[in-house]
Amino acid sequence: MSLHALIRARVAQNGPISLADYMAECLLHPEHGYYTTRVPFGAAGDFITAPEISQMFGELVGLCLAQAWMDQGAPKPFTLAELGPGRGTLMADVLRATRGVPAFHEAATVTLVEAASQLAQQQRELLAGFDITHVASADEMAEQPLFLIANEFFDALPIRQFIRAGQQWRETQIGLSGEDLVLGQGPALPQPALKGRLQETRDGDMVEYAPAVGPIMDAIGGRIARHGGIGLIIDYGDWRSLGDTFQALKDHQPVDPLADPGAADLTAHVDFEALATAAPCEITRLTPQGVFLERLGITQRAQSLATGLRGSALEAHIAAHRRLTHPDEMGNLFKVMGLFPAGCSPPPGLDQ
């Protein structure tokens, strides 16, 4: 039975489901889920992430983590972690860029937080030669200093979506119209989690939030607050959620998110204010990805790598640098927020 049929049967029997339940089924269903049945990354997949665009991204992120580790006294042992590491490309670049940092690799427990077994196997293959620890959730990481990357992780967390109705909210739900899955709105109800949004929204405004943000930020921010370390959260979105950002991508093109459950990537823009509010440690200002990478020296690195390139290889390299940093491409759409402990400096490239 297809996932579309399974969801139809569930709705027919129990009534409409939330957007969060729908996203969770589509992305992580053990038999039909998007991340459990396919490799979505790269030119042959449905979307491409910054580490797949150029090695420069992972190299600079790795050196940022290593510099912060040294700034905090080079604690040993420590956890070097990534949330949702895809094929493992970013962590591979991080490890390559930091191999010359004295004692960094020896002190690191490389930990990948991955819920999809198929992707975990790909990560093991790409990172063969390194001792890798896989965990299914952030709260399973060791209680020790944590130096963590979350690149395009939070955008894939299932969201709930609400439209304001007076002092109450109507939730977006997935229902049925004949054999089709359709979006609708539930009854107006109070939503304690959205109490703070009543002051700056109006009737008819739509807001989104991801219920899993709180526990995840508590797990990573708590470790940083207690033991030291930093976190780099890199994703598309803005300081505060407003409007409908639920979307689906297949073959690098937008598609109807309800048409073929499990066959397209489902995401929503990240509400960085919600992440900051849930973090039990210090946070940096929200910084555009292009500014962050320029502060870390991406242009100098690009010039160095370009020295031996000619023709189409040089053109592709220049295009990759532009795509990562230019305001009209990923440079402004993607933002960076850093986590760090009280009494320490913020991560390199970011301001408090």
Model confidence pLDDT, tens digit, residues 9-44: 999 999 999 999 999 999 989 899 898 877 666 555
pLDDT of the residue at 47? 72
Residues pairing with 238 in the sheet? 271
Residues contacting residue 316 through CB under 8 Å, at least 6 positions apart: none
The mean predicted confidence, pLDDT, of the chain is 95
Quick: pLDDT tens for 121-166.
999 999 999 999 999 999 999 999 999 999 999 999 999 999 999 9
Q: How many of the other CB atoms lie within 10 Å of CB of 253?
A: 10
> Domain spans of the chain?
34-158+209-340
Provide the 8-state DSSP code for 74.
Answer: -
CATH class assigned to 34-158+209-340: alpha beta
* Residue 53: band (very low, low, confident or very high) from pLDDT cuts 50, 70, 90: very high
pLDDT tens-digit map of 246-269: 999 998 899 999 999 999 999 999
Backbone angles phi, psi at 168, to 5 degrees: -125, -175
DSSP string, 133-182: EEESSGGGS-SS-EEEEEES-GGGS--EEEEEETTEEEEEEEEEETTEEE
pLDDT, position 40: 66
Who contacts 72 (Cβ-Cβ below 8 Å, separation ≥6)? 145, 228, 229, 341, 344
pLDDT recorded at residue 217: 98
Cβ atoms 72, 344 nearer than 8 A: yes
Q: Determine the pLDDT at residue 48.
A: 84
Q: How confident is the model at residue 306 (pLDDT cuts 50, 70, 90)?
A: very high
DSSP state of 239: S
pTM: 0.94
Half-sphere exposure (Cβ direction) of 20: Cα atoms closer than 13 Å: 12
